[in-house]
Structure 1
Amino acid sequence: MVLSSFRILEMELDYHPELRGITVNRPPLKLLQDVPFPAWVADNWETVTNFQAKPDDLLIATFPKSGSTWMQEIVDLICRNGDVGMCKRAPVYYRVPILEFFMNNILPTGTDLLAKMASPRVMKTHLPIQLVPKSFWEQDCKTIFIARNAKDSLVSYFHFHNSCHLLPEPGTWQEFSQKFMDGQVSWGSWYDHVKGWWEAKDKHRILFLFYEDIKEYPRREILKVAKFMEKVLEEDVIEKIVQSSSFNIMKDNPMANYGTLPASVMNQNISRFMRKGEVGDWKNHFTVSQNEDFDEHYARQMVHSSVKFRNVL
């Protein structure tokens, strides 16, 4: 059964009455193996690190605001053979749970949702490679990793912090930019995150994709994902998935755009969860001097890495 966005919100309020008029206090950051996390991740770390993966689990991994929700929708559409109605059965964070989500006074935890899911399960994470539960590698699970250029990731993450009360206050644009470069934002350093997953791609079953490629060549990249998932799709199904996972469709889909959450959790009047989805939006935010400083910092951080992005420098 396909549920309207209004009914989904009613259901969430029915099952979680504390959402009515709830005040969400922004969490502090806590270090976990030298990586900063919102307190609700760090305080539940034992449950995350002890998570038992299954061999047919599929993990979607990104640094925050780098295309994970986009890939969640693509993968769910592939799993459902392009059935758009089935992909509107529930919000994306229920269909593809976030492994380390533990705001259980607001919504069900990621591990609770996964425990009730039938195999094969699909889940997402923003964890850096070194903190992914070992069971994923022991079970030889597949992972789809999406990397987005640093400048656009920074801009998107800043706007997301402004609207999402589940994260610390971002401060000013200048303050947040510096924290981003210093790796002092939730889930840590963009540089370490991307380099770590890049280096691991030849050691594990990891499909490493670039946000910019998915944006420019959606059909080609979706076919890569389907092949990786060992799914054969008919031509009309492929076209349906390309269309249904486009930014313009997803931004108006309450099952994909987090529109079911109340403003006390995510105030989309400040900034929409699916804000622009553009490549190169950083040019509307960086001053000339900021851009020069960032380029110098980026070059130092990435000098020994072979990963190359378009539209970065």
Structure 2
Amino acid sequence: MDFEDNKAFGEVHGIPMYKDFVKYWDDVETFQARPDDLVIVTYPKSGTTWLSEIVYMIYKEDDVEKCKEDAIFNRVPYLECRKEEKMNGVKQLQEMDSPRIVKTHLPAKLLPGSFWENNCKIIYLSRNAKDVAVSYYYFFLMITEFPDPESFPKFVEKFMEGKVPYGSWYDHVKAWWEKRNNPQMLYIFYEDMKEDIRKEVIKLMKFLGRKPSEELVDKIIKHTSFQEMKNNPSTNYTTLPEEMMNQRVSPFMRKGISGDWKNHFTVAMNERFDTHYEQQMKDSTLKFRTEI
């Protein structure tokens, strides 16, 4: 699995990225934000779809039917996503009425400047590195044009080196953490959502200026449970053709749990990972839980 030579990948300002995204990068860089845009940012495989559906439901005041009208990637467009003419996040967003919810995996330094200039609200969701590595590995297996990751240990090495799309997990979570004191920014954790979803939904609603009623919170929790979303064609990505995403290899919504890394990391891998992790994170106050 050599990403460097793979035709599916390129680089943007030193960050590994999908070739098709790189080709149209100018469209992303010059993207015009609107002041009422909301940006959902995650490193890949950190609970993006889950958070997107919760936020969309808050916006639609718990109207489940509106949430099922279209696939999540059309309701919450993926800003930098480009597949020639088949997929175009920038175009989708430009044609969308306000208020828009924007999904991105971009590191802080690559977020288009207009979002900062317009003082847009940003929610950053982070998840512990070990579970992200596991989930990313399965994602690699199911995306048809990605290089074969060969084995989980080999993939983890690439992940630790930041030689995967969107680069280093460490740099990503730390740079966004540095911005957490901006009043327009909310930094939350996947593990907290798994532990007490009610508390996190209320936090999100308050951040978005909505009044959390018990009935609304209950509805959102029920609609966005893992089982509901896994069985819901508008959130489970089954509407994408198999030649893009082969869900027979691994479902897009696989387990949605915390601590699955224990089923994949050997003791030796875990020790190696922990040592590297300490080194990468020693200058940051950011703390993660690897299990609940």
Normalised TM-score (structure 1) = 0.89
State the distance in 1 between where 2:19 and 2:47 align. 23
Equivalent position of 1:121 in the other structure: 100
Residue 83 (structure 2) aligned to one of 103, 109, 123: 103
Structure 2: gaps (5+ residues): 1-5
* Equivalent residue pairs, number: 287
Deviation larger for 194-203 or 122-131: 194-203
Give CA deviations for 1:232-284 in whole Å, capped at 9, x if unaligned: 13321110001111101100001000010121110000000000001000000
State the distance in 2 between where 1:228 and 1:203 align. 12
State the distance in 2 between where 1:169 and 1:39 align. 17
Give CA deviations for 1:8-62 in whole Å, capped at 9, x if unaligned: xxxxxxxxxxxxxxxxxx8432121111001011111111010010000000000
State the distance in 1 between where 2:107 and 2:147 align. 19
Deviation larger for 196-205 or 113-122: 196-205
Equivalent position of 2:3 in the other structure: none
- Secondary structure of the residue aligned to 1:124 is strand
State the distance in 2 between where 1:204 and 1:150 align. 26
Structure 2 letter corresponding to 1:211: Y
- Secondary structure of the residue aligned to 2:87 is coil
Q: Does 1:57 align with 2:37?
A: yes
Residue 75 (structure 1) aligned to one of 52, 55, 60: 55
Q: CA RMSD in A?
A: 1.4
The alignment-based identity, stated in percent, is 47
Normalised TM-score (structure 2) = 0.95
Deviation at 1:169, TM superposition (A): 3.4
Q: Does 1:309 align with 2:288?
A: yes
Q: Does 1:88 align with 2:81?
A: no
Structure 2 letter corresponding to 1:96: V
Q: Does 1:179 align with 2:158?
A: yes
Deviation larger for 34-43 or 132-141: 34-43
Report the CA distance shift for 1:197/1:100 in structure 2 as closer, same or farther (over 3 A): same
State the distance in 2 between where 1:188 and 1:255 align. 29
Matches within 5 A, 1:1-313: 27-105=7-85, 107-165=86-144, 167-203=146-182, 205-311=184-290
State the distance in 2 between where 1:246 and 1:144 align. 20
Report the CA distance shift for 1:204/1:169 in structure 2 as closer, same or farther (over 3 A): farther
Deviation at 1:132, TM superposition (A): 0.2
State the distance in 2 between where 1:29 and 1:201 align. 30
State the distance in 1 between where 2:84 and 2:24 align. 11
Structure 1: gaps (5+ residues): 1-25
Confirm or deny: 8 A CA contact 1:81 1:233 kept in the other structure.
no
Report the CA distance shift for 1:63/1:300 in structure 2 as closer, same or farther (over 3 A): same
State the distance in 2 between where 1:79 and 1:120 align. 9
State the distance in 2 between where 1:275 and 1:85 align. 24
Q: Which runs of 4+ in 1 moved over 4 A?
A: none
Confirm or deny: 8 A CA contact 1:69 1:92 kept in the other structure.
yes
- Secondary structure of the residue aligned to 1:36 is strand
- Secondary structure of the residue aligned to 2:82 is coil
State the distance in 2 between where 1:124 and 1:32 align. 18
Report the CA distance shift for 1:36/1:204 in structure 2 as closer, same or farther (over 3 A): farther
Confirm or deny: 8 A CA contact 2:20 2:84 kept in the other structure.
no
Deviation at 1:153, TM superposition (A): 0.2
